[in-house]
Amino acid sequence: MSSAARKALRKLPRTERERIGVALGRLPGGDVRPLRNRPEFRLRVGGWRVLFEIDDRQRRIIVANIGSRDDVYK
């Protein structure tokens, strides 16, 4: 998880952090879509978006950013 994602996650209310954690645990399921012209995918959790990349060689998911729908893509 990137430092920006950790910082954003700490600022969220506890219930939202838990919802995002559960959604990340269910990957690759959920509302996941690839982003256009970017290497990341997005996971939609209510009004929040989790941007992440998939590292196939090390078989892990790297969370790049977490934020509201309006701000996370900037």
pTM equals: 0.91
Total domains present in the chain: 1
Enclosing domain of residue 7: 3-68
Report yes or no on 22 lying in a domain: yes
Task: Give the pLDDT confidence of 6-45 residue by residue, as tens digits.
Answer: 999 999 999 999 999 999 999 989 999 999 999 999 999 9
In DSSP notation, 2-65 reads -HHHHHHHHHS-HHHHHHHHHHHHTTTSSSEEEPTTSS-EEEEETTEEEEEEEETTTTEEEEEE
Report yes or no on 47 lying in a domain: yes
What is the C-alpha to C-alpha distance for residues 37 and 27, in angstroms, rounded to an integer?
22
